Structures are given as C-alpha cells and as structure tokens.
Amino acid sequence: MEVDRDFFEIETPITYRDEATGTELVAMPADDFEVITMIDFNSDVLGQQFASLRNLDDYEKEIAPCRTFVFLHELEYLFSQNLIKGGDLDNAIVIVDRVMKQPELDDLAKKLNKPSVKVDKEGILNTVKLHFSNEPARHKLLDVIGDLSLLGKPIKGKIVATKPGHKANVEFTKLLKKYYQEQRKLKGKPKYDPDQEPLFDSVQIAQWLPHRYPFLLVDKIIEMSDHHVVGVKNVSFNEYFFQGHFPNNPVMPGVLQIEAMAQTGGILALSTVDDPGNWDTYFLKIENAKFKQKILPGDTVLFKLELMAPIRRGICQMQATVYVGNKIVSEAELTAQIVKRS
C-alpha cells in the first residue's frame, strides 16, 4: 500500500547566518526540493562558483561523482603536523593557490606517493581530472544535501547556500528542525468558524460542568470525537483576573490556562458516562506544562485535548495544546479522574 510521504514544507523564508564566516543558508517556499550553492574562497584559481540541483533525479549523474577539495596550503599544514600519512589524493582535488618551483613539486610528489606531479593550467594538481568545471561548488551542494538529511524528513522548498560548510549546514538543519516540529504541531490546529453553531454553548457547558462565574473558562465546544475535543474562549479586557494579574500588562495566568484545558477535556471525559451532570473530574497529575506565548485581551483561544490512552477505571490522560491564531501558546499533559458526585 502506498503512503503519502511526510514532507517538511517550507512556508516562510528561514535564514541562518554566520557573520564571522559570511556563510548564509536560506530556505524558501517552492513546489519541489531544489538546492543552489555559491562558493567564494578569495582564490584566483577557484574563483566564485555556482551549482544547482533542481531535480533529485539528476543527483546521481550531476552531483554524486563530485569530490572533495583541498587547498595546497591546507595540505602543507597537514603534512607539517605529521598527518595524512600514506594519504592518497586520487579521490580529492588539490587546488594550488601559490606558485610552486620544481623542487617543491618533486617533494610534494614524494609525500603523495606519486612518481611526479605538476600543476595544470587550471591551477589544479594533476592527481585528478575535474569531472566538471564547477566540481567544488557541486561537492559543496552534495555536502548541503547530506547534512540536511539529519532533519529526518524530505524537504519541499528551495535551499540557497552561500559559502556553506558542515558546521553551518548542521546548525541550519537544527534550525529547520525547530520549525518542522512547530509546523507538525500546527497541522493539528483546529479550524474555528464563529458563524458555525457550536456543539455546546456556554449554557450547555454549565449543565455538564459544575463551574460558574468567575471560574467557568470555556465559552464553546466546537469539535468532539471519541478521542478529542476542542473548546473556545474569547478573552476580553473585562476578565476578572486582569484586575489583579499584571493589571498594567494584562496576561492570562498560566494556571488558568491549565484550568481551561482541564474544563475542555472534562467535557470529553464526561461524555463517556450516562448522566454527565452528576460527575466531576479531578486532577491527578500535570506534566510537561509549557507556556510559549502570552494570551492577551482580544485573543480567541482554542483548547485542543486529545486522549493519550483509552479511559480506564475513570482515569483520563490527555495531551492539551492551546492555540491563538497560528501560534501554539501553551501545552501540557493532564491526568484526571472522573468521580460520581455524592
């Protein structure tokens, strides 16, 4: 059975910059995956180079054969540190970035275990022949693709990399991963149409929940299934808690966000009993509560509660996610027990 792939779809530009090196990587929206790399090592031999891959089907032929490269001065440093003993550069490009006399070339040939070496007119040591005139830029593109694979998801977007390197590529991938994780959570964001009649209005909610003003914190229930429920609260400037909680900078208290989550989840929990108005739900545990954005007067808040496991012996475990617009403002894992009112 074929299953649709889960892509990380770039929806807005994402930029990583390293001011020290001048490296910049940008991800932009696009219908497919494509990569563009630009390199500049201030080398007269190498010059500024550009490479692009607009179709992954071309990767094997156009990018995979492209080898790593090293400047002569880097190679000399490695030799001076007694490194790369027995190194064979048949699979690497050596870029000669200074004039070399014959005795130096002979000494280098000995170190490289070659009968002789010379500098071709392109400024490339003749240990290899270039597959493409821009093979170094293509190899950097290969590196970008390899490092992006650490994301663990295929990307639908355009990557533009200027002077990329492994360290910057990995940091950029970490940044993309944060965006992907947020995007994945937002894929479950409920859609709220204020013109659509709710499943429960505030009067009906009060028939199931024991809470009353000023502690009834859910205005509507707009979705409910066997495993999830969505509640709505319209936050006004006249909320009682704004009078004493940062009165000059009104913010909905985190503890009341938790309570609103629980009340929304309570509707789902009580839907499993025959006479919900005669049962209550009590907290047993709150875990992994996170408050990411402020809830302010004028916000319309959506509380989504999803069962983490089937309800057994009256014990409910739910994942709560709270949205304002396209932002997740808070989340928590809640455990409660349904208890019949005596």
Catalytic residues: 166, 245
Residue written as tokens 């994301």? 151
Residue 101's alpha-carbon distances to 72, 98, 127, in angstroms, are 14, 10, 17
Contact 218, 300 (CB under 8 A): no
CA distance 306 to 321: 9
SS3 (DSSP) at 77: helix
Q: Length of the chain in residues, anyone?
A: 342
Contact 94, 70 (CB under 8 A): yes
Contact 209, 266 (CB under 8 A): yes
Contact 165, 22 (CB under 8 A): no
What does the block give as tokens for 332?
Answer: 């928590």
Exposure string for 91-130, b = 16+ CB within 10 A, e = fewer = ebbbbbbeebeeeebeebbeebebeebebeeebbbebbee
CA distance 172 to 166: 10
What does the block give as tokens for 174?
Answer: 């970490």
Q: Could you tell me where the beta strands, DSSP code E, fall in 83-175?
A: 92-95, 155-156, 158-162
User: Whole-angstrom distance between the N-terminal and C-terminal Cα of the chain?
Assistant: 53
Contact 135, 64 (CB under 8 A): no
Pairing of strands 327-340, 279-291: antiparallel
